[in-house]
Amino acid sequence: MSGDVGGDHHSESSTSFFEGIAWTPQIEEAAQIVALWMTCDLCGAGFWGLPRVGKSEFSKYLEKVASEMFGGTVAVVLLNFDGEVFDKPEKFLVRALVNLDVRAITARLPAVLRVRLVDAIWEKCTPKTERVLVIADEMQNVAPAVYGQFAILESNIAKRFKPFMLVIGQPELQSTVANLRKSINVTGRLYQEVREFCGLSFQQLEEFLRVLDGEESSFTMRHFPGRAVGGWSIVQLVAPIKAAVLSLVDLDKLGLDLFLPMAIVRSTLIYLFLILKDEANVEIEVGAEHVLEAFQQNGFVNDIMAYTKPKRPDPPKPSKRPKSPPALEPPGDAAP
């Protein structure tokens, strides 16, 4: 290795670099999309995305900020269906109740479990509540046969408030939606619109690092004061990360764009930060070779092509409006 990440720095918690950080440009963009969907009174919509792009982080972020975005008038219910397949209404409802810290889950009848679930949702509401946002993460694990439970839940919430059902899942969600198109009762509640949740473009990566660095490069000053004195900041890591990517895939030649999954961004940055923080590496400039070491460690060298997409053609330039013809002048010898 060209940069030592050994020594005492292994004992430092890697989360100390990102403690309390959930924001990314992609998460912010997705939150604004959800706000628009809700403002337009959609019943439900969804996001699908590849693993590790930050979908679950987005759901947690949205849980925290949705109420503030709507002036405290939104109650948020976050459900997570990871770990197993939910192919029966009872399993689905029990997991939802567990998500809401309800202990009375021994009933066998779905109708009884649904009543308890709705009651738990009402407990999250306040006198200011006007809308209820239900976020269902890891929806690829929920069998389509169980989707009717969402329709019933949406109908029950609608008796008091405006409901919005947000579903989030892996790419399998696309085929599920396609197969459900004939079931308007379900698609009209859950999938009025479905969008892809991508990773970060290089431009978004730079924006993320600028926000992380803060005013007057406070992050760089706090963690790497010796380098900050010379005018260096963590935003300059974009260049070696991009160089490392291009050494693996010639994006321009292949006509591709890359969207870096947030889990890879996080682990790569931690690796680079540990190199930078080690006093033994004070003379080392972080380069593409260090990023490639990180990519080897986190496995991105094997998965990179999965996170590429064909380049979108540049939007056509708006056509110029033809100039209005000049006003016709009367002939010089015309009568006044």
Question: Is residue 253 situated within a structural domain?
Answer: yes
173 in the same domain as 40: yes
pTM: 0.84
Number of domains, the chain:
2
In a domain, 329, yes or no: no
Q: Is residue 257 part of a domain?
A: yes
Is the domain of 227 the same as that of 110?
A: no
Are residue 119 and residue 211 in the same domain, yes or no? no
* pLDDT at position 330: 43
Domain end position, chosen among 196, 223, 249: 196
| CB of 268 closer than 8 Å to CB of 244 | no
Asked if 158 and 189 sit in the same domain, the reply is yes
Residues (pLDDT < 50) of the chain are 1, 5-11, 321-336
Comparing CA positions, the residue from 48, 41, 196 lying closest to residue 136 is 48
Q: What is the pLDDT of residues 73-84, one digit of tens each?
A: 999 999 999 999
Domain of 158, CATH number, reads: 3.40.50.300
Last residue of a domain, one of 168, 196, 224: 196
The verdict on residue 212 lying in a domain is yes
Identify the bridge partners of residue 309 per DSSP, sorted by sequence position. 257
Q: Which long-range contacts (CB under 8 A, 24 or more apart) does 243-252 make?
A: 243/287, 243/288, 243/291, 244/288, 244/289, 244/291, 244/292, 244/295, 245/304, 247/288, 247/292, 248/292, 248/295, 248/301, 248/304, 249/304, 249/305, 249/308, 251/308
Residue type, 255: G
Model pLDDT, residue 212: 94
The per-residue pLDDT for 8 is 45
Same domain assignment for residues 125 and 89 = yes
Residue 316 within any structural domain of the chain? no
Q: Which has the closest alpha carbon to 96: 115, 112, 82, 81?
A: 81
Residues 66 and 126 in one domain: yes
Classify 110 in phi/psi space as left (phi over 0), alpha (psi -120 to 50) or beta. Answer: alpha
Q: Of 196, 231, 258, which residue sits at a domain end?
A: 196
Whether residue 58 is found in the same domain as residue 189: yes
Q: At what angle do helices 288-298 and 262-277 cross, to 10 degrees?
A: 130
pLDDT of residue 52: 95
| 204 and 296 share one domain | yes
Strands 256-258 and 131-137: unpaired
Q: Report the pLDDT value the prediction gives residue 144, as an integer from 0 to 100.
A: 87
Q: Within a domain: residue 332?
A: no
In the prediction, which pLDDT does 335 show?
44
Does residue 315 belong to any structural domain of this protein? no
My answer on whether 165 and 233 are in the same domain is: no
Cα(65)–Cα(58) distance, rounded to whole angstroms? 10
**Do residues 89 and 146 lie in contact, with contact meaning Cβ atoms separated by under 8 Å?**
yes
**pLDDT for res 336:** 40
* 183 and 56 together in one domain: yes
Q: What is the Cα–Cα distance from 47 to 24, expressed in whole angstroms?
A: 16
- In a domain, residue 320? The reply is no
Q: What is the pLDDT of residue 316?
A: 58
247 in the same domain as 163: no
Same domain for 184 and 62, yes or no, is yes
Give the model's pLDDT for residue 230.
Answer: 85
Question: What is the predicted pLDDT for the residue at 20?
Answer: 67
Range of the domain at 163: 25-196
Determine the pLDDT at residue 135. 98
